[in-house]
Structure 1
Amino acid sequence: MTDTHASVTAVCRVSALLPDSGTIGVTAIDKRPVDGPVHVRPLGLRADVQADRKHHGGPDQAVYAFADEDAAHFADLLGREVTPGLFGENLRTSGVDVTGAVVGERWAVGESLVLEVTKPRIPCTTFARRLGEPQWVKRFMAEGRPGAYLKVVRSGPVEAGDRVVVLSRPDDGVTIGDVFAGRASA
């Protein structure tokens, strides 16, 4: 159901909590690639955190995936490199149409990890501050390439180079892009 070359190109988790002028006072958006396997459980990657748990994390937002292809688009838009983890993603993928993923679609990642697509990422002002782009929320929304949150169906390790295979896809065809577009026009 997916390209045989679909894979994880980077696994990212929080590098440091950074001071932030938002209501929480710190942010965990500073995700960076790690070497070797990282175990993924129902609330996300081992040793990863979310500073604002009201809006981030939890079982339906345990893992955030973003595509290399979409990162390249944003690199062109911004005129700078969009390195893995810059957008706060846990998984950077290649050959996976993350925006075209159907809500409820299940992915086998590596040998045992199974993830389910739940919803698009909705940008926040912390994200704008991270990029130093005051109009970033509006620009990000306009591009329609949000990345996807995933819940953990079966725990397991993940590492760069792991293959991603779509195991199942609901028939309703409602994609991450569809949900994001509906949110953008609301």
Structure 2
Amino acid sequence: MPLLLSVNVGRPQPNPYKETKATGIGKLPQNGPVEVRAPGPKRGGLGSGLVGDFIGDVKHHGGDGQAVYAFQREDLDRWAARLGRELGNGFFGENLTTVGLDVNEARIGERWQVGAGVVLQVTSARIPCSTFRGWVGERGWLKTFTADARPGAYLSVVTPGTIRSGDDIRVLHRPDHEVTVSLMFRAFTTERDLLGSLLAAGDDLDPETQAEIAVARR
């Protein structure tokens, strides 16, 4: 059974890697329950889908389509071995550190139930930014991370509620198309010829992603 290994929340801290003055990328596991709700639009909304989690660059991060970010522990362990350093849950800026679930093979529009009642929907792939590059502090990090094509998934909040470390994760719905998180990431980064294939996801693409595909295909 896939599990939520930890729920991670970031507090504001100085961001020397981007023009925004603060970042919440340094997320730490929480001991108790964390409230999850739809945050609204990127600009003017609540930022993160997790109450108490900070997002500094609200132009590019957060909002309903990027309310929650999930990354799997198996990939963190692989990176830890490759980089020769310990990587704690939340270090990649993820809100949910999962185990037993291949996040990158999740399909766009896939729905997960976390715990007793929270329902999240996979919306898009995480595209790494300069804050992530500076935070990890490895030479050529963005190029290395991008080549791996296992970026983790953004999710929207369908049903709000509370979640906590140790909650079960259950896949409630898997669309019948083949557009996965990894495929979307490669289409937007290293394999632009795949952009047209993303349209197979149809209505499972949120409006923001549809607009990004349209711009990218011009």
Name the TM tier (shorter chain). Answer: over 0.9
Q: How does 1:10-29 map to 2 (within 5 A)?
A: 10-29=6-25
| Residue 133 of structure 1: how far off its partner (Å) | 1.7
| Match of residue 181 from structure 1 | 186
Is this contact kept in 2: 1:20–1:27, CA < 8 A? no
Distance change (3 Å), C-alpha of 1:75 and 1:147: same
User: 2:75 aligns to what SS in structure 1?
Assistant: helix
Q: Which string of whole-angstrom CA distances, capped at 9 and with x for unpartnered residues, describes residues 91-130 of structure 1?
A: 0000111000000000000001000000010001110110
Which has a greater percent of strand? 1
Which of 117, 137, 140 is equivalent to 1:135? 140
CA shift digits 1:12-48 (9 cap, x unpaired): 0013422324111221111111101101000200111
Instruction: Give yes or no for contact 2:26–2:90 (8 Å, CA) kept in 1.
Output: yes
Q: Identical aligned pairs, as a percentage?
A: 46
Structure 1 stretches lacking a partner, 5+ long: none
Q: Pick the structure with greater CA Rg.
A: 2
Inter-partner Cα distance in structure 2 for 1:114 and 1:107: 6
Structure 2, gaps ≥5 residues long: 40-48, 193-218
The yes-or-no answer on 1:120 pairing with 2:116 is: no
Map residues 20-169 of structure 1 onto 2, 5 A cutoff: 20-43=16-39, 44-169=49-174
SS in 1 for 2:52: coil
Provide the C-alpha distance between the structure 2 equivalents of 1:70 and 1:59, rounded to a whole number of angstroms: 25
SS at match of 1:99: helix
- Structure 1 contact 72–82 (Cα < 8 Å) conserved: yes
Between stretches 146-155 and 134-143, larger displacement belongs to 134-143
Instruction: Report SS of the residue matched to 1:149.
Output: strand
Query: What is the TM-score normalised by the length of structure 2?
Result: 0.81
Flag the structure with more relative contact order, 1 or 2, with Cα contacts below 8 A and sequence separation at least 6.
1
* More helix by percentage: 2
